[in-house]
Amino acid sequence: MTPEQFDETLRSFVKRRPFFPFVVELADGRRILIPDSHVAFGGGVAGFINEEGALDGFSYDEVRSMHFATPETAT
């Protein structure tokens, strides 16, 4: 995935109306649940404030896939 593809894909998830939570799966196996559309991104990097109030970030070269959350992936 290129930085441009990353930005385009992320934009399609964030701008969807109505918004649906989605999951970013990283190459190391971690899953990041994106619960709302408050995600800053550009140039192949993204960040958002997680439930603990800390900045959580990831970049295009870490991402294996992005998909809508299901009850199983939302935990």
Q: How far apart are CA 37 and CA 25, in angstroms?
A: 17
Between CA 43 and CA 52 the distance in angstroms is: 26
Q: Which two tokens stand for residue 24?
A: 């970013």
Stated pTM of the model: 0.87
Number of Cβ atoms within 10 Å of the Cβ of 62: 17
Q: What are the structural domains, with CATH classification, of the chain?
A: 3-68 (2.30.30.100)
pLDDT tens digit sequence for 47-56: 999 889 999 9
Give per-residue pLDDT as tens, 4-17.
999 999 999 999 99
